[in-house]
Amino acid sequence: MSIDELTFRDTAIPWNPISLSGLLDIIGATNMIIIMKTGTERDVITPVIARIEELGLQAHPIIGEGQAIVGVVGLPLPPSLDEMFEVMPGVERVVRVSKKYKLAGWDFHPQKTVIRIDDVEIGSDEVTVIAGPCSVESEEQVMESARAVKALGAKLLRGGAYKPRTSPYEFRGMGVKGLEILATAREETGLKIITEVMTPSDVEVVGQYTDIFQIGARNCQNYLLLEEVGKANKPVMLKRGLSLLIEEWLLAAEYVMAQGNPNVILCERGIRTFENATRNTLDVSAVPVLQSMSHLPVFIDPSHAAGKRPLVGALALAGVAAGADGLMIEVHPNPDLAMSDGAQSLDFDEFAALMPKISAVSQAVGRSLPIPAGAGV
C-alpha cells in the first residue's frame, strides 16, 4: 500500500475516509485549527462544527483514537473567533493559521514595502532620517531647522502644527498657520514634510500641506481617524500607542490599509513600563519582531523614548543597528527655549555630531545613509 492510499477519518460524522493528499490539502487550506480535549465525544464536537458552518465557514473534523481536531477553512476569519471557540465545551486550544493582519503581514505581500515620495525612498536600503522640531513655533524656527537638518542629510522635516499635549494648558500648536510654515520650508529646501493629524475632520486640511500624515501614539487606536487617513492618498506614519501590543499595532495599520492606503510606516517611540529613568522604554526588539511579521517600513523615534537629550544618540544608533528603516529625531535651533519637548531635542551641533555615527552604523548593517559633502562636526 502506498502512503497515499492510507486513509484518515475526515468528517467522522458521517464517516468519510480521505487520502493523505486529501488530508494535506485540507491542512494547507486551513485558516484555523480547533484542538479538542482528549477523549471528547462526537456529540460534543458536533456543536463546534455547527457553529463553524453557521458562520459560513467550512469545518473539517479529523478524528483519531481519542483525539480530534477540527480544521476551519474560509476567510475572512473574524478576529474574535479564537475566543468564541476557546470557551466552547470540549475545546482544548485554538490555533490560528492565517494572521489577523492580512494586509500588513507577509502572507499576501512577500515583498518589502518601499514608499516613494518623489526622490525620497522609505524602506529601501537607505536609512531615512526625519528631523525637526517637536512643534512648529515660528517661520524663523522652522526655516532654520529645515536648512540645518537638510545640510546634514535629513530627507524629511518634522514639526507639529496640531499638538497632543498631556495638559490642556500647554502649547497645542499653531494649526493651519503652522502647516503653511512647513509648506514654505518644503518649497525652499526641497525637504518633504511630515506633521501630525489628530482628528478625522482635520485630515483634509492637513492633507493639503503634508507629504506624510503622522498619527501620534495617543491616537494609534483612534479607528475613525485611521480610516480617514486610509482614504487619503498620502503615506501614514503610525506611532506605537503607549501600551500597545505589536499585534494590536499591526491591526491598527490594517485599519489604514483596509481603506485602500498601502503606504504605512510603523514608528516605535517607546512604550510605558515601570521604568522612569527614561520618558518611555524604547522597545528595540520591536524592529526585528515587526520585520518578521510585516512588510511595512519600521522607524525608531529615539527622542520620545529617551525624553532626555544625552540619551537620544545611543537609542538612535541602537535602532539603526537593529535594522530600522529610518529615524525620526527632534532637533531645535535652541532646545532650551522650545515650546514642547525641549529636553529631548538636539541642537544643530548635537545633530551634526550624530549623523555621521548613524551613517557608520547604517553601513555596518548593510544599509547606507549618505551625508552631504561639507556636513559634519
Residues near ligand PEP, by CB under 6 A: 134, 160, 164, 216-218, 239, 269, 304
Of ligand PEP, Mn ion, none, which one sits near residue 238, judging by CB under 5 to 8 A according to partner kind?
A: none
Distance CA 303, CA 239 (A): 13
Of the two residues 51 and 269, which places its CB atom closer to ligand PEP in the complex?
269
Of Mn ion, ligand PEP, none, which one sits near residue 120, judging by CB under 5 to 8 A according to partner kind?
A: none
Verify binding: residue 341, Mn ion, rule CB under 5 A: yes
Of the two residues 134 and 256, which places its CB atom closer to Mn ion in the complex?
134
Verify binding: residue 339, Mn ion, rule CB under 5 A: no
At what angle are helices 246-257 and 286-293 packed, to 10 degrees?
A: 50
Q: Which residue is nearest to Mn ion (CB)?
A: 134
Distance CA 253, CA 237 (A): 9
Of the two residues 69 and 185, which places its CB atom closer to ligand PEP in the complex?
185
Of ligand PEP, Mn ion, none, which one sits near residue 239, judging by CB under 5 to 8 A according to partner kind?
A: ligand PEP
Verify binding: residue 137, Mn ion, rule CB under 5 A: no
**C-alpha 127: how far from chain center:** 17
The neighbouring-strand residues paired with 33 are 71, 95
Verify binding: residue 134, Mn ion, rule CB under 5 A: yes
Sort 205 into a burial class: Cβ within 10 Å, 0-12 / 13-18 / 19+.
Answer: middle
Of ligand PEP, Mn ion, none, which one sits near residue 216, judging by CB under 5 to 8 A according to partner kind?
A: ligand PEP
In this structure, are residues 105 and 293 in contact, taking their beta carbons and an 8 Å threshold? yes
CB of 288 to Mn ion, least distance (A): 26
Count Cβ atoms below 10 Å from residue 259 Cβ, excluding itself.
14
Of the two residues 57 and 215, which places its CB atom closer to ligand PEP in the complex?
215
Tell me which residue has cell 485554538: 94
Question: Dmax over Cα atoms in the chain, in whole Å?
Answer: 83
Of the two residues 94 and 271, which places its CB atom closer to ligand PEP in the complex?
271
Of Mn ion, ligand PEP, none, which one sits near residue 217, judging by CB under 5 to 8 A according to partner kind?
A: ligand PEP
CB of 195 to Mn ion, least distance (A): 12
Of the two residues 68 and 149, which places its CB atom closer to Mn ion in the complex?
149
Radius of gyration in angstroms for the set of CA atoms belonging to the chain, rounded to a whole number: 25
In 43-150, which ranges are E strands? 58-63, 68-73, 91-96, 115-117, 120-122, 128-132
For every residue of 323-341, DSSP letters joined together read T-SEEEEEB-SSGGG-SS-
Of the two residues 218 and 357, which places its CB atom closer to ligand PEP in the complex?
218
Of Mn ion, ligand PEP, none, which one sits near residue 367, judging by CB under 5 to 8 A according to partner kind?
A: none
Distance CA 332, CA 319 (A): 21
List contacts with Mn ion (CB under 5 A): 134, 341
